């Protein structure tokens, strides 16, 4: 009897490990081997093209520089905006707090292409807020740049909206964990609220701000779905990977993808090391200015700005900006669907109406329905497979040495640009290497598995580590339960919450993902990509309808998500 269970266990674990290696690990790291295998392609396309010389290399450097400026400024604003918001959510107690919290999270689950289109409409066209101010154009032009850094404002604000949740959530989580008593102590000792923030909270929050920034930076660097819609002629690195793949410049695309992955790694790796070394211990930043004249001046300044009125203004501004960035585009897109329903409100032509584009000669409805089917079928299948792969993986990660390496490797698909990931999957399964699959829904599913498994493993691990599961399992064993019963009656029910949360997150992620899907989809166009195609073919009313529809689906999803994870507030 003992032996049978042992064999069963080994079989399950070994097969899981094998499947994981083939489905997740190899496709993730395949891109890294690309330069070795296709060194000639790269040299030909990037460095020594007989026609254009190293023009592609120049382009690569250009898009990388642009992406860096964009992501760095995004993260900077994320921090400035995100810390006060995290404060409001962690320390505040007001009606509507749950709503605000949901709002902050919304961009995480919203299909980015839909959101990108909504933002484009809102800020750069007459259908957006321009109309509210009586303008006959948008309040921004698609080429309006931020001063000094030459980054289009529209791309910048979309990136801020999409990456803000990473800072807010990590800082908020840390703040909730920090006992408010330290702030109280500091106040009674005579420190104003800003001085308290600097001297008492900052040391505690630094790791959280740091890891949130790293996530936000990685996300911004890799964002494709919204960027491709709002970018106009500008190319970010992640978008360039997609575009070049379309133009069959595979060597250049792969080379750029690889650089992106390496950069992401260079950022993530030190961050991981720093965080794991600080974990458990206490960060003791040296207080260089403590007690000096500089600090005295600083304290006086902080005292001036610690007045309640300044705090209220700061909080008000941050909340207002969040509302403007997230809610206004949603309102505009929904409102526009109605005003474009039967005719174009500006030209009066029925050809420009939602109804005409969906049911008329363009006949977008069946296309949309098919895309919906592709999206849901692929998201469901990949989530389903990922769940069954993730549960034994959690076990492996916890019980075996290789677990820690596995866990670190699993971070890769979470942070590398999705277009690079899509390219890697395509190269691995596709004609260039294994030759098993061509771009289609099957490749979409395989790609989604690659980033779904890490999500589910992480949320399940979080529950696993937060519970005394081993204790309960041992208790059940001493009571004579066989391994099957232990798993069914003890382990799974405890882990259920993490698994469900992970499944919902990976489902929404799969549904909204654009960058990788564009590369691997072939003729099976998922709904998130359909929005991009519609915008590119200027079928605006159809794009409007599809965006509104995506936004509504994701809003429903986040409500469900809230209800499911209500107790733990992930």
Contact residues for other proteins, defined by CB under 8 A: 179, 181-182, 184-193, 195, 199-200, 203-204, 282-285, 287, 290-291, 295-296, 299-300, 306
Closer to other proteins by Cβ: residue 1 or 181: 181
Q: Which residues pair with 53 in a beta bridge?
A: 49
Nearer to other proteins, 184 or 474 (CB): 184
Specify the residue, 281 or 361, whose C-beta has the smaller distance to other proteins: 281
Between 43 and 187, name the residue whose CB sits nearer to other proteins. Answer: 187
Strands (E), 73-179: none
* SS3 at position 363: coil
Half-sphere exposure of 318 (CA within 13 A, CB side): 23
Smallest distance, Å, CB 176 to other proteins? 17
**At which residue do the structure tokens 């395989």 appear?**
446
- Between 192 and 510, CB nearer to other proteins: 192
* Closest approach of other proteins to the CB of residue 180, in Å: 9
Q: Which is nearer to other proteins, 166 or 197 (CB)?
A: 197
Q: Nearer Cβ to other proteins, position 184 or 465?
A: 184
Count CB-CB contacts under 10 A for residue 533. 17
Q: How far is the CB of 314 from other proteins (least distance, A)?
A: 17
Closest separation in Å from C-beta 57 to other proteins: 47
Are 230 and 158 spatial neighbours (Cβ–Cβ below 8 Å)? yes
CB of 187 to other proteins, least distance (A): 4
DSSP string for residues in 255-289: HHHHHHHHHHHHHHHHHHHHHHHHSSS------TT
* CA–CA dist 191, 198 (Å, integer): 10
- Reported residue count of the chain is 570
Minimum distance, C-beta of residue 179 to other proteins, in the bound complex (Å):
7
State the nearest-atom distance from the C-beta of 173 to other proteins, in Å.
Answer: 18
- Choice between 293 and 563, CB closer to other proteins: 293
| HSE-CB for 117 with a 13 A CA cutoff | 33
From the list 102, 177, 209, the residue with the least C-alpha distance to 565 is 102
Beta-carbon contacts of residue 128 (< 8 Å; ≥ 6 apart):
121, 122, 138, 139, 332
Instruction: Please measure the distance between the N-terminal and C-terminal CA atoms of the chain and give it in whole angstroms.
Output: 41
Q: Which is nearer to other proteins, 284 or 401 (CB)?
A: 284
Provide the angle, in degrees to the nearest 10, between the axes of the packed helices 540-564 and 492-512. 170
Alpha-carbon distance of 98 to 145, in angstroms, equals 35
In the block, tokens 């902080």 appear at: 302
Hey, what are 3's tokens?
A: 């032996």
Nearer to other proteins, 74 or 192 (CB): 192
Q: What SS3 state is found at 361?
A: coil
The nearest distance, CB 80 to other proteins, in angstroms, is 24
Minimum distance between the CB of residue 299 and other proteins, rounded to whole angstroms? 6
Cα Rg of the chain, angstroms: 25
Q: In angstroms, what is the minimal distance from the CB of 481 to other proteins? A: 40
DSSP state of 145: B
């Amino acid at each position: 009897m003992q032996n049978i269970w042992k064999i069963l266990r080994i079989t399950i674990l070994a097969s899981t490990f094998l499947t994981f290696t083939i489905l997740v690990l190899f496709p993730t790291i395949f891109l890294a081997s690309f330069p070795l295998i296709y060194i000639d392609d790269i040299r030909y396309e990037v460095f020594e093209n007989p026609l254009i010389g190293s023009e592609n290399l120049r382009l690569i450097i250009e898009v990388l520089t642009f992406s860096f400026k964009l992501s760095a400024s995004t993260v900077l604003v994320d921090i400035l905006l995100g810390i006060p918001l995290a404060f409001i959510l962690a320390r505040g107690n007001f009606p509507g707090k749950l709503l605000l919290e949901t709002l902050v999270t919304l961009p995480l689950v919203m299909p980015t292409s839909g959101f990108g289109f909504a933002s484009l409409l809102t800020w750069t066209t007459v259908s957006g807020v321009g109309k509210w101010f009586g303008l006959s154009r948008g309040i921004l032009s698609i080429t309006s740049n931020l001063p000094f850094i030459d980054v289009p404002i529209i791309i910048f604000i979309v990136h801020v909206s999409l990456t803000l949740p990473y800072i807010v959530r990590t800082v908020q989580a840390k703040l909730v964990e920090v006992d408010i008593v330290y702030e109280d102590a500091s106040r009674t000792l005579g420190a104003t609220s800003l001085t308290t923030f600097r001297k008492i909270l900052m040391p505690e929050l630094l790791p959280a701000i740091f890891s949130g920034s790293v996530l936000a930076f990685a996300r911004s660097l890799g964002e494709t779905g919204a960027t491709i819609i709002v970018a106009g002629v500008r190319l970010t690195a992640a978008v360039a990977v997609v575009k070049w793949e379309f133009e069959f410049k595979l060597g250049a695309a792969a080379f750029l993808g690889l650089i992106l992955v390496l950069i992401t790694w260079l950022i993530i790796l030190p961050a991981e090391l720093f965080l794991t070394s600080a974990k458990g211990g206490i960060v003791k930043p040296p207080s260089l200015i403590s007690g000096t004249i500089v600090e005295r001046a600083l304290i006086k300044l902080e005292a001036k700005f610690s007045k309640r009125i300044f705090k209220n203004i700061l909080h008000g501004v941050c909340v207002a900006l969040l509302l403007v960035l997230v809610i206004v585009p949603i309102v505009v897109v929904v409102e526009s669907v109605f005003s474009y329903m039967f005719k174009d409100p500006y030209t009066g032509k029925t050809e420009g109406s939602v109804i005409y584009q969906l049911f008329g000669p363009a006949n977008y409805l069946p296309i949309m329905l098919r895309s919906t089917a592709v999206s849901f079928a692929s998201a469901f299948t990949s989530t389903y497979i990922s769940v069954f792969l993730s549960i034994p993986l959690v076990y492996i990660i916890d019980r075996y040495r290789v677990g820690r390496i596995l866990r670190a490797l699993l971070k890769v698909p979470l942070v590398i640009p999705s277009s690079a990931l899509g390219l890697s999957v395509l190269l691995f399964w596709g004609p260039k290497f294994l030759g098993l699959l061509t771009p289609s829904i099957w490749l979409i599913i395989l790609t989604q598995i690659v980033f779904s498994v890490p999500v589910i493993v992480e949320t399940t691990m979080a529950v696993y580590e937060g519970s005394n599961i081993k204790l309960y399992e041992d208790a059940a064993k001493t009571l004579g339960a066989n391994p099957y019963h232990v798993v069914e009656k003890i382990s799974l029910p405890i882990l259920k919450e993490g698994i469900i949360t992970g499944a919902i997150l990976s489902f929404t992620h799969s549904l909204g993902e654009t960058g990788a899907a564009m590369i691997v989809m072939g003729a099976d166009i998922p709904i998130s990509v359909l929005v991009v195609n519609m915008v590119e073919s200027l079928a605006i009313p159809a794009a409007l309808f599809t965006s509104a529809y995506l936004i509504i689906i994701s809003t429903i999803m986040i409500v469900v998500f809230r209800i499911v994870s209500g107790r733990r507030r992930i």
